[in-house]
Each structure stands twice: as structure tokens, then as C-alpha cells.
Structure 1
Amino acid sequence: MSITSETKTAFSSKDFHQTFARPVFVRPDKLIHKNVEQAGEHNQFSTERKHPVFFVDLPTKNVSMTIGGLLPGQLTNKHRHTYETVLYVIEGKGYTEVEGERVEWKAGDAVYIPSWAWHCHQNLSNSESARYIACENAPQLQNLGVALREEEGRDL
């Protein structure tokens, strides 16, 4: 990692036209998270969500990725959050209810959940688990101090 000794100019809003991006590559400590599911479930998150969740532990500041699972017949709690989510279904079939609209999915489908939309997930099989990858912009909003999550029936 290289640090330059350029003098930093303090800009005000009237100087916006003078602020040009100067991208610099900074190598993170970690570029790969091997065997994500073998690292184990995230206990607190899995317990709170009532289904297994595996975090992809990489140093991104803008997006997160988790692997989620729904047990046979499982229905999650209704919840909402200020960050967007895209689910990619790896296996199984079920539905996600988004603001009262039922969106059915199966392996190979992707589902979009807009920010602050009430939603829940249901595995339609009584014998097979369902698994998905969830990609979210939660870290970006956390870094801005505006990431919120609310479970139905609980105060923020």
C-alpha cells in the first residue's frame, strides 16, 4: 500500500467542479473466503432469522453476500430493511411475499426485494430444503449510518 504526501485541499460546496476522483488501488487483507459453509453458520444471525445463514467474509464496504437456507416447509418472519436484496435460488422451490404480492421461485431464479418492503420467504417443499445466495447493499448503508432492519411486531 502506498501513501502519497499530496497536500489535501479543503473544498466547500461551491468548489464541486474542482473535485476530481483519483482512484487508488489498495490491496485488502483478504481476496478469498474458502469453503464458506464449512466455516459454520453465523449463530446469532441464524437464531434471529430462524434459518441457517452463512456469511461470505470478505472486506467489501458496499455489498454483502450470504448463503441462506430454508428448512422443509419453513416460513420466515415478516421483516423489512433499508437495503436492497437480490436472492439467487440455488436449490428448492418456494415463494417470497413482497408487500403482499406472492413471487414464486425455484432453483435458477433471482428475486428482487426493494428497500423497506415488508417480505418473508416460504419453502414449499415439506421434504427438501431450499438454499439461496443473498446479495445486499447493507454494508454501504451501514457505513453511512442509515441501515435499519425491522421484524414485524417489534419496534425499531
Structure 2
Amino acid sequence: MSDTTTTVSTTPSEKDQQKQFSSKDFHETFARPKFVKPSHLIHKNVERAGEHNQFSTERKHPVFFVDLPSKNVSMTIGGLLPGQLTNRHRHTYETVLYVIEGKGWTEIEGERVEWQAGDAVYIPSWAWHRHQNVSDTLPAKYIACENAPQLQNLGVALREEEGRDL
């Protein structure tokens, strides 16, 4: 019996996918973008899909998740009931709020930022913050965009509620 070796020819991208890299190999890693068709591209009638019960209960105001397959950013529709003040909390992900209706303020690390419909508010990562609807009769509504999924996929997304998680 003869000793034979079979060689399988692969393209460079297949070789790169098969190799396990370490820190010393950083110069050998090359991005190879590839389009992967997601399960869906639209979430119609977000609010009609219903409130996310866990988050609505925890945050004490209605929260509607936009169910899209992004691995890096999330979007929710949040509401503040008339006169409502949320608990102070912080998280490792950044948030941008876009106010759809109402007036109120967001306190970020002790600084009060007043907002109304049409305004956008930036909340840096790990900053203590809370929100207040200043109307006693009208609700406030906002869209929140966050990089939470990206940090969750990396295993570093954290959230703390003042008085509960400390």
C-alpha cells in the first residue's frame, strides 16, 4: 500500500474561514463582507403588535419593541403617562431618543435636558438617567434607538435600576 495525501483546493476566503486566528495573526485577517438575507425587512404596525409586557412592567410605562433582525441596533417606541417620572437607571449601551409627542425632561448625570416633540436626546453609555413627562393630562411618546444588541452579542450589555440592582 502506498502512502498518498489528498489535497483539497480551496479559495482564500474558505481558508480564512477554516483557520483559527490568534492575536499574532492579526495582520492576516481580512474582512470579507457577505450579504446575508435577513428573515424580514419590515415590522408593520409596531404598536398594534402589543406592548412588551416585561419591559413595560419593569419600566412602569408602555414599551413597544420594533422586531427587526438587526444584530447591532435596536429600536423601541416608549411612552410616558401623564406626570410620569421613571426610575433612575443606567446601561452600557448608548441611547438616542426622538420625541414624537409631548413635553418633558431627561436628567442625565444630574443635568436636566428639557425636550418636546421633534427633539432628539442623547444618553451616553453608563450615565445615570431618568425621564419625566411634565404634562398632567397628555402622554409623551418617543422612539429609542440603542446599540444594545451589539453589546449583548459581545456579552457586555448591562443595565442597572437604582435601588434594585445595587
Work out whether the TM-score is over 0.5.
yes
- Structure 2 residue runs without a partner (length 5+): 1-10
Q: Mean alpha-carbon deviation: is it higher for 31-40 or for 15-24?
A: 15-24
The DSSP-based 3-state class of the residue aligned with 1:29 is coil
Give structure 1 regions of 4+ aligned residues with deviation exceeding 6 angstroms. Answer: none
Partner of 2:63: 53
Partner of 1:27: 37
* Match runs of 1:26-105 below 5 Å: 26-105=36-115
Partner of 1:6: 14
- Normalised by the length of structure 2, the TM-score is 0.89
Give the superposed CA RMSD: 1.3
The DSSP-based 3-state class of the residue aligned with 2:14 is coil
Q: What is the Cα deviation at residue 24 of structure 1?
A: 0.4
Partner of 2:4: none
Which of 147, 151, 155 is matched with 1:145 structurally? 155
Residue deviations 1:5-40, cap 9 Å, x none?
Answer: 823223222221221100000001111100000000
- Normalised by the length of structure 1, the TM-score is 0.94
Letter in 2 for 1:39: A
Alignment partners' CA distance in 1, 2:48 and 2:22: 49
Which of 118, 133, 155 is matched with 1:108 structurally? 118
Partner of 2:3: none
Alignment partners' CA distance in 2, 1:97 and 1:126: 19
Letter in 2 for 1:56: V
Q: Which structure would you say has the larger Rg?
A: 2
Q: Give the paired residue count.
A: 153
Letter in 2 for 1:18: E
Alignment partners' CA distance in 1, 2:98 and 2:47: 16
